[in-house]
Amino acid sequence: MFFDRAYSREQLLAHCGSAHQLARIISCELNDGKERGVRALIFQTGGGLNFTVVPDRGMDIAYADYYGKSLAWISPSSIVAPQYYEPEGWNWVRGFYGGLLVTCGLVNVGAPDIIDDEAHGAHGRISYTPATNVSYDMVWAGDDLFLLARGEMRDYRMNRYNLVLKRRIQVRAGDTSLRIHDTLVNEGHRSVPYQIIYHINAGFPILTRDAYFIAPSRMVTPRDQAADEVKEHWRLCNDPTPGFQELIYYHDVLPCSDGKAWAGLINPNLSGGMGLYVKYDPTYLPILMQWKMFGQGTYVMGIEPTNSFGLSLERQKALGLVSYIEPEQEIDFHLELGVLPNSEEIAVFEREISVVMPTPPDFGSTLV
């Protein structure tokens, strides 16, 4: 579908000199400050959705917009090249550019930890790992034109773990959503505990005081006392607030009719209604983490499918939530990120959630 009309491939190519007139992937290299040398794949989909994949930062997605309206919070760091990675403690955040998607893991996520006598910095290494075997293409499938990118990232330590994350990003030209298919492979010779977070960072202008978070949650668990004190307002957003302290909630999400977990940030007053959503397979991502960070300049709502609470591995074991991957095992993760462009599509999204979650969620006890 282009420009509110269905065309065949033959009709489209009769109107155009090249398929790049309809949609395109622009391959380039960033060249300023600490971003210098970072490869970028700029997807222009022809349907208003545009986003930038950065192969040298774990094949994650940095900038994203819908008809010029930014979908993601962007930090002052810009897209820091991997050679500036500071693995110690919480220094991961010094190169955290925000963006539509940052992947955390693969051995550690959340707070710094010591695992099997090895120090792991916050959120692991994978988002700073340059991809290998990178490729991109535009492919016709019948009357549909698809934009594709692939790459592989490895997290390795001799005699400990050898994990590979193989990523495929796909969007159909003219659509308002993209799909991610990740395959985690254990190419080592021992069972390994793995952790992963898909850190989706919704920002202004979708995020304002008028916006609200939505998910079919049967249980909402505050991380700590600060989150517990305002847990009844987990759905709501604030204006940018001086001195705001982050609030984190863990959601036990019911699957919708398609078997996927749905969540989104909705702003009913932006352009008559607009939202950012994720749909994902919860099989290996049993937790949805919600990160409310409404500071001045750091104004972001994190929507984060994960298999971890982001606590230490020992604490995870005590909570009964540690995932292992066996030698030669492959685990697939499927996510869809997209825009709800108008009030009609928002209504459809909310109606589906209301069917599977007709009553408000229960609240769990704090974890820390």
Q: Which amino acid is at 106?
A: L
pLDDT in tens, 284-307: 999 999 999 999 999 999 999 999
Residue 229: what are its φ and ψ, rounded to 5°?
Answer: -65, -25
pLDDT in tens, 50-85: 999 999 999 999 999 999 999 999 999 999 999 999
Q: Six-digit token pair at 338?
A: 């997209």
Once rounded to an integer, what is the mean pLDDT over residues 222-240? 98
Total Cβ atoms within 10 A of residue 197: 26
In 3D space, the residue among 368, 349, 320, 357 whose CA is nearest the CA of residue 219 turns out to be 357
Query: pLDDT category, 232, cuts 50, 70, 90?
Result: very high
Query: pLDDT category, 2, cuts 50, 70, 90?
Result: confident
What the chain holds in terms of domains, given with CATH numbers, is 103-363 (2.70.98.10)
Once rounded to an integer, what is the mean pLDDT over residues 261-274? 97
Total Cβ atoms within 10 A of residue 271: 14
- The answer for residues whose C-beta is within 8 angstroms of residue 61's C-beta and 6 or more apart is 51, 52, 53, 54, 99, 100, 101, 169, 337
What's residue 210's pLDDT?
A: 98
Measured distance CA(52)–CA(59) in Å, rounded: 10
